[in-house]
Copies of this chain bind each other. A is one copy, B any other.
Amino acid sequence: MSPKNIEEEISKIDNVLNAAQKRFGQFGLCKTTMTEIASDIGLSKAALYYYYPDKESLFEAVIRKEQKEFVEEITKLIKSASKAPVLLSMYLKKRQDYFEKFMNLSKLKYDSIMNSKPLFGKLFEAFNKKERELVRTILEFGISNKEFKKMNTQENADFLINLLQGLRFIALKKQDDLTMNDEERTQLDENLKKTMNMFIRDISI
Q: How far is the CB of A153 from chain B (nearest CB, A)?
A: 15
Q: Indicate if the CB atoms of A170 and B159 lie closer than 8 Å.
A: no
- With beta carbons under 8 angstroms apart, the residue of B159, B173, B195 that contacts A191 is B159
What chain B residues lie within 8 Å of A166 (beta carbons)? 162-163, 165-170
Given contacts A163-B163, A202-B202, 14 further A-B contacts (CB under 8 A): A159-B191, A159-B194, A163-B166, A163-B195, A165-B166, A166-B166, A166-B167, A166-B168, A166-B169, A166-B170, A169-B173, A198-B198, A198-B202, A201-B202
In the complex this chain forms, how many copies of it are found?
A: 2
Residue A141 is within 8 A (CB to CB) of chain B in the complex = no
Write the nearest CB–CB distance from A122 to chain B, whole angstroms. 14
The CB with the most chain B CB atoms within 10 A, among A114, A163, A167, A169, is that of A163
A194→B203 CA distance, assembly (Å): 12
Interface size on A, residues (CB 8 A): 19
Decide yes or no: A191 and B162 within 8 Å by CB, A198-B199, A199-B198, A202-B201 being known contacts.
yes
**A191 / chain B contacts, CB cutoff of 8 Å:** 159, 162
Measured between alpha carbons, how far is A204 from B169 in the docked complex, in Å?
28
Q: How far is the CA of A199 from the CA of B198 in the complex (A)?
A: 7
